[in-house]
Structure 1
Amino acid sequence: MLRTSGLTKEFGGLTAVDDVDFALAENELCSLIGPNGAGKTTFFNLLTGVLTPTTGSVEVRDGEDGWRDVTDATPYETADLGLHRSYQITNVFPTSTVLENVRVAAQAASGDSAKFWRNAGAFEEHVEEAHAILDRVGLAPEAHTPAESLSHGAKRQLEVAVALAGDPDVLLMDEPNAGVSSESVDEIIDLIEDVATDHAVLLVEHNMDIVMNVSDRVVVLNQGEVIAEGEPQAVRNDPTVQEAYLGGYEAGSLDGERDAESPAGDSSTDPEEGTA
Structure 2
Amino acid sequence: MLLSTHDLTKKFGGITAVDGVDFTLEKGELCSVIGPNGAGKTTFFNLLTGVLEPTAGSIEFAPSNPEGDRRDDSVIDITAASPHKTALLGLHRSYQITNIFPTVSVRENVRIAVQAHRGRDSWQFWRNVGAFDDHIAEAERILQRIGLTAAADRPAETLSHGEKRTLELGIALAGDPDLLLLDEPTAGVSSEDVSQVTAIIEDIAADHAVMLIEHNMDVVMGISDRVAVLNQGELIAQDVPETVRESEAVQQAYLGGYDPGGVDAGSETDADDGGESGVSAG
Same fold (TM over 0.5): yes
The structure 1 segments of at least 4 consecutive aligned residues displaced by more than 4 Å after TM superposition are: none
Q: Does 1:152 align with 2:161?
A: yes
- Which of 96, 99, 108 matches 2:107? 99
Greater CA drift, 44-53 or 111-120:
111-120
CA shift at 1:215, angstroms?
0.3
Q: Does 1:272 align with 2:281?
A: no
Q: Does 1:48 align with 2:49?
A: yes
The separation in 1 between residues aligned to 2:228 and 2:252, in whole angstroms, is 15
1:32-181 equivalences under 5 Å are 32-63=33-64, 64-111=72-119, 112-181=121-190
Partner deviation per Cα, 1:31-61 (whole Å, 9 max, x = no partner): 0000000000000000000000000111110
> TM-score w.r.t. structure 1 length?
0.93
Structure-2 residue corresponding to 1:262:
none
The answer to whether the 8 Å contact 2:41/2:273 transfers is: no
The separation in 2 between residues aligned to 1:134 and 1:144, in whole angstroms, is 11
Q: What number of residue pairs does the alignment pair up?
A: 267
Q: Does 1:244 align with 2:253?
A: yes
> One-letter code of the match for 1:42?
T
The answer to whether the 8 Å contact 1:37/1:273 transfers is: no
Partner deviation per Cα, 1:138-158 (whole Å, 9 max, x = no partner): 111110111111111111001
The answer to whether the 8 Å contact 1:61/1:67 transfers is: yes
> One-letter code of the match for 1:128?
A
CA shift at 1:269, angstroms?
5.8
Unaligned runs of 5+ in 2: 65-71, 277-282
The answer to whether the 8 Å contact 2:113/2:171 transfers is: yes
The separation in 2 between residues aligned to 1:13 and 1:131, in whole angstroms, is 48
The answer to whether the 8 Å contact 2:216/2:266 transfers is: no
The separation in 2 between residues aligned to 1:169 and 1:74, in whole angstroms, is 17
Check 1:243–1:271 CA distance in 2 against 1; reply closer, same or farther (3 A cut): closer
The separation in 2 between residues aligned to 1:85 and 1:269, in whole angstroms, is 18
The answer to whether the 8 Å contact 1:97/1:143 transfers is: yes
Partner deviation per Cα, 1:82-134 (whole Å, 9 max, x = no partner): 00001111121111111001001101101212111111000011001001001
The separation in 2 between residues aligned to 1:147 and 1:191, in whole angstroms, is 19
Unaligned runs of 5+ in 1: 260-264
The separation in 1 between residues aligned to 2:13 and 2:191, in whole angstroms, is 40
> One-letter code of the match for 1:5?
H
